[in-house]
């Protein structure tokens, strides 16, 4: 009676047919490695994957098909499988070189079978599958190329009960912060380099993220060389099981330039407001000075030239003229004065503005004026020239945050038909390696 034998054979054939259908659906090839003879046998699809015949092929010949850069990893995996009798499955992805010069990425899944017990236990047969993953690898390389060229860092975090754990990043942290991806993956890296003044605010915002699902926050972050950049961090929670989000994805963008421009805009708006205030005060003050100067002239006509009262009146008139000069400086600062070019002695213009400059630049900057007697005269609006000198001096002061020396000099030059003004500043140290320690401007 062979009924049971035939049923077993039919079941075996059906099982083999189902296995073959599954392998075809997954586009998997199969292979086996006979350890005793060190030969490898491939089925039809596996032979196409590695571009080798279906019959027996020496393991060394098969290894020559592997790309030289991936060969060591595959050999190391095979050696580990031969030494480990746990019969666990290993996976290696390697490039295979075909005879026509093409290059294919193949995923090798392998397991080693052992026989015997104890010290006599030894490997006898390795078997596994091959799968062509070239399309996937090329897509990954394309994505990686785009990610690395992007000015932003894309990342993923694992959401746990204790907070966020680093999971993955696009690998271009170094372009923004100077830190490598391996350094960025270290526990506590982000918190250690977060600016102390931003830490509490940003940590509190991140703690609320799972509840609000979407967060945009900006903070200052310390780069590897010690300087800080402004980062715009936008992140979202990836939905998992209902009520249990497990992952966060986000991106970092360097917004340092934008933040600096916003700060400059705010400063210019403040200066504009101060200038408008100064212009209004100067106009009102000028009206009062007109009354004082007019009455002083009338009184001067009524007093004898050698009288004591006349001398005191002259002092009042001189003070009024100095106050009028101060008014012109305020109007020049507010840019409210009408242009009135006239011939002036350039040293006198610099002399009038020198006192105001000392108040503007502060005590940390030393001011030196070197006015050449041969500087001569120029035709210019005095208020506008004073404003230019003030602006250059203020810029020089801003370039020397730790103090320094500011020099203003006048001299004649054969290169120019006028007497130029030279303004130069030199600080004790520069703010960055790319900046010079001194600067100069010439009118």
Reported as a pLDDT band with limits 50, 70 and 90, residue 336 is low
Inter-CA distances, 225 with 171, 222, 249, 258, Å: 19, 8, 27, 21
Who's near 167: CB < 8 A, 6+ residues apart?
155, 156, 157, 158, 247
CB under 8 Å to 35, separation ≥6 — which residues? 82, 112, 122, 123, 124, 125, 126
Task: Find out whether 106 and 94 touch, Cβ atoms under 8 Å.
Answer: yes
| C-alpha distance from residue 256 to each of 120, 168, 218, 253, 294 (Å) | 67, 24, 10, 9, 56
Distance CA 43, CA 152 (A): 46
Rounded Cα–Cα distance for residues 26 and 4 (Å): 33
What's the pTM value of the predicted model, to 2 decimals? 0.48
Mean of the pLDDT values across residues 151-168?
A: 82
Please say whether the dihedral angle defined by the alpha carbons of residues 311, 314, 318 and 323, taken in this order, is positive or negative: positive
Task: Name the band, by pLDDT with cuts 50, 70 and 90, for residue 231.
Answer: very high
Q: What is the pLDDT of residue 399?
A: 86
Q: Other CB atoms closer than 10 Å to residue 217's CB: what's the count? A: 17
Query: Residue 228 pLDDT more than 90?
Result: yes
The packing angle between helices 382-398 and 308-334, to 10°, is 60
CA distances from 287 to 150, 174, 292 (A): 61, 62, 9
- pLDDT band with cut points at 50, 70 and 90 for residue 159: confident
CA neighbor of 52 nearest in space, from 98, 84, 95, 11 = 98
Q: What average pLDDT does this structure show over 264-287?
A: 79
Going from the C-alpha of 191 to that of each of 155, 181, 186, 225, the distances in angstroms are: 16, 16, 11, 17
**Distance between CA atoms of 132 and 48, rounded to whole angstroms?**
10
Q: Does the pLDDT value for residue 208 go beyond 90? A: no
Between the ranges 7-21, 88-102, 130-144, where is the mean pLDDT highest?
88-102
For residue 254, give every residue at least 6 positions away whose Cβ sits within 8 Å of its Cβ, in sequence order, or none: 151, 176, 229, 230, 231, 232
Q: How confident is the model at residue 133 (pLDDT cuts 50, 70, 90)?
A: very high
Token readout for 72 is 């060591």
CB 341 within 8 Å of CB 381: yes
**In the numeric block, which tokens belong to residue 440?**
């100069």
Q: Which residues pair with 439 in a beta bridge?
A: 425
Mean pLDDT, residues 252-263 taken together: 91
What was the pLDDT predicted at 144? 74
Q: Give the long-range contacts of residues 414-419, CB within 8 A, separation 24 or more.
A: 418/376, 418/378, 419/346, 419/372, 419/374, 419/375, 419/376, 419/377, 419/378
């Amino acid at each position: 009676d062979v009924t049971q034998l035939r049923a077993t054979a039919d079941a075996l054939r059906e099982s083999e047919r189902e296995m073959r259908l599954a392998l075809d659906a997954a586009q998997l090839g199969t292979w086996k490695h006979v350890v005793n003879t060190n030969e490898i046998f491939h089925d039809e699809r596996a032979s196409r994957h590695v571009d080798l015949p279906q019959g027996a092929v020496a393991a060394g010949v098969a290894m020559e098909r592997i790309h030289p850069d991936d060969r060591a990893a595959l050999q190391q995996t095979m050696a580990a499988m031969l030494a480990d009798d746990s019969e666990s499955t290993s996976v290696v992805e390697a490039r295979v070189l075909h005879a026509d010069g093409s290059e294919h990425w193949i995923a090798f899944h392998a397991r080693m079978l052992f026989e015997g017990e104890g010290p006599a236990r030894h490997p006898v047969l390795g078997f596994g599958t091959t799968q062509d993953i070239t399309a996937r690898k090329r897509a990954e390389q394309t994505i990686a190329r785009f990610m690395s060229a992007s000015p932003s860092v894309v990342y993923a975090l694992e959401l746990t009960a204790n907070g966020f754990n680093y999971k993955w990043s696009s690998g271009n942290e170094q372009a923004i912060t100077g830190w490598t991806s391996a350094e960025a993956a270290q526990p506590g890296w982000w918190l250690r380099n977060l600016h102390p003044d931003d830490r509490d605010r940003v940590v509190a915002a991140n703690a609320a993220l799972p509840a609000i699902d979407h967060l945009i926050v900006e903070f200052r972050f310390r780069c590897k060389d010690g300087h800080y950049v402004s980062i715009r961090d936008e992140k979202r929670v990836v939905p998992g099981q209902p009520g249990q989000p497990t992952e966060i994805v986000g991106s970092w963008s360097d917004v340092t330039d934008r933040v600096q421009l916003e700060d400059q805009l705010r400063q210019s708006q403040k200066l504009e407001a101060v200038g408008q205030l100064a212009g209004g005060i100067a106009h009102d003050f000028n009206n009062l000075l007109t009354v004082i100067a007019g009455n002083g002239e009338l009184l001067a006509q009524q007093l004898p030239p050698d009288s004591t009262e006349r001398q005191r009146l002259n002092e009042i008139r001189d003070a009024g003229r100095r106050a009028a000069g101060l008014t012109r400086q305020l109007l020049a600062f507010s840019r409210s004065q009408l242009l009135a070019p006239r011939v002036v002695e350039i040293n006198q213009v610099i002399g009038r503005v020198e006192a105001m400059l000392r108040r503007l630049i502060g005590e940390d900057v030393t001011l030196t004026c070197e006015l050449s007697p041969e500087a001569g005269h120029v035709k210019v609006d005095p208020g506008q020239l004073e404003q230019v000198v003030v602006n250059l001096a203020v810029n020089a002061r801003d370039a020397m945050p730790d103090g320094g020396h500011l020099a203003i000099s006048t001299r004649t030059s054969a290169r120019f038909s006028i007497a130029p003004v030279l303004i130069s500043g030199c600080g004790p140290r520069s703010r960055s390696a790319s900046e010079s320690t001194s600067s100069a401007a010439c009118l």
